[in-house]
Amino acid sequence: MSVQTSSVPRIEEDRAATSSPSPARTTRHRVDPIYYLFLFPALAIFTLAITLPAVIGFFYSFTNSVGFGDFEFIGLRNYIALFQDPNILHAYLFTLGFALVTVIVVNAIAFALAVALTARIRFQTALRTIFVIPMVISGIIIAFVFKFLFANSLPALGQTLGLGVLSESILADENLAWIAVVIVTAWSAIPGAMLIYIAGLVTIPAELYEAAAIDGASGRQRLMRITLPMVSGFILINTILGFKGFLNAYDVIVGLTDGGPGTATTSIAMSIFKGFGGGDYGYQMANAAVFFVITVILAGIQLRLTAGKASFGA
């Protein structure tokens, strides 16, 4: 009994020693002043180039400014007019629908190409280089090239083959012009998404596929139960970046349809920029403010729905 009673105080002393905070933990972490030296230029540029113009633009959204000269404060009149403008509402519907369809098309094709280009095929490096070429070409140039194809080459081919569907340019059809915009935008965006998927696929250990093959898993099962879960984080990246970029679609649409026929393919960005030059500065600033709020809400919903579901592999 004497041994047990004598060991109790020693155990309590050891516990007290281990539970007491060490000086290293209680010491407050000091930030190196050089950190602020590098932070200040970036913060100043961000404030002057983004934050300050945004605040000024938000102020002008409550005025009748035409971009220069005198102006008057008119309150919420611009915002009320926005929700009553059918052209603005159509631009929002077109932009959101276009962004959603294009994200699906781009990610599906980019993922399929990435899987093919990470397989054991000949001329793998050369094929990767070829598929990346659209990334280095300006969007406006790509749009002009495809505009010639859609307006001249395809109709001529359709007339030669007797195909009524291709005999007329889809750019002149209000119901089909958006398809051309999706095709051209996807063609220029697929390489970037494909590279991200390739970066994700090469991180998957080959042992996983070998073990699955030994267990008798088919190619479809390996794709659904190994590949997709392991690259889910990269799918999330491509979805968010792609959707954000397609919401700001401008150059491809300008070069391809210029918002036509009529206003069928006019995006929000196009309506804002055209309004700046048409004397609707304050009105389009209100449009830009609403667009910013919608973009933030959509980004928040995306992050909320995908929180904790992304995995970047091991």
| Confidence grade of residue 55 (pLDDT, cut at 50, 70, 90) | very high
pLDDT (tens digit per residue) in 124-164: 777 777 888 888 888 889 999 999 999 888 888 888 887 77
Q: Is residue 54 a contact partner of residue 288, using CB atoms and an 8 Å limit?
A: no
Tokens read off for 64: 């009748």
pLDDT (tens digit per residue) in 174-186: 899 999 999 999 9
pLDDT (tens digit per residue) in 204-255: 898 988 898 888 888 888 888 988 889 988 998 898 889 989 999 999 999 9
Residue 116 structural domain:
85-306
Q: How far apart are CA 158 and CA 167, in angstroms?
A: 4
Q: Is 42 within the bounds of a domain?
A: no
Burial of 222 per CB tally in 10 Å (0-12, 13-18, 19+): middle
Q: Is 147 within the bounds of a domain?
A: yes
Q: Is the pLDDT of residue 270 over 80?
A: yes
Give the rounded distance of the alpha carbon of 285 from its chain centre.
Answer: 23
Q: Is 144 within the bounds of a domain?
A: yes
Q: Is 74 within the bounds of a domain?
A: no
Q: Which pLDDT score is estimated for 256?
A: 93
Q: Is the pLDDT of residue 14 over 70?
A: no
Q: Which pLDDT score is estimated for 28?
A: 65
Task: Return the top range by mean pLDDT from 18-27, 95-104, 234-243, 278-287.
Answer: 95-104
Q: What is the dihedral of CA 117, 120, 126, 130, to 10 degrees?
A: -20
Q: How far apart are CA 4 and CA 284, in angstroms?
A: 83
Q: Which pLDDT score is estimated for 220?
A: 87
Q: What is the dihedral of CA 59, 61, 63, 65, to 10 degrees?
A: 100
Average pLDDT of the chain is 84
Which residues neighbour 110 within 8 Å (Cβ) at sequence distance 6 or greater? 190, 191, 193, 194, 196, 197, 238
Q: Which pLDDT score is estimated for 128?
A: 77
Q: Which pLDDT score is estimated for 314?
A: 45
Q: Which pLDDT score is estimated for 3?
A: 46
Q: Provide the whole-model pTM.
A: 0.80
Q: Which pLDDT score is estimated for 194?
A: 92
| Confidence grade of residue 310 (pLDDT, cut at 50, 70, 90) | low
pLDDT (tens digit per residue) in 62-105: 999 888 888 899 989 999 999 999 999 999 999 999 999 999 99
DSSP state of 170: G
Number of domains within the chain: 1
Percent of the chain with pLDDT over 70: 88
CATH number at residue 185: 1.10.3720.10
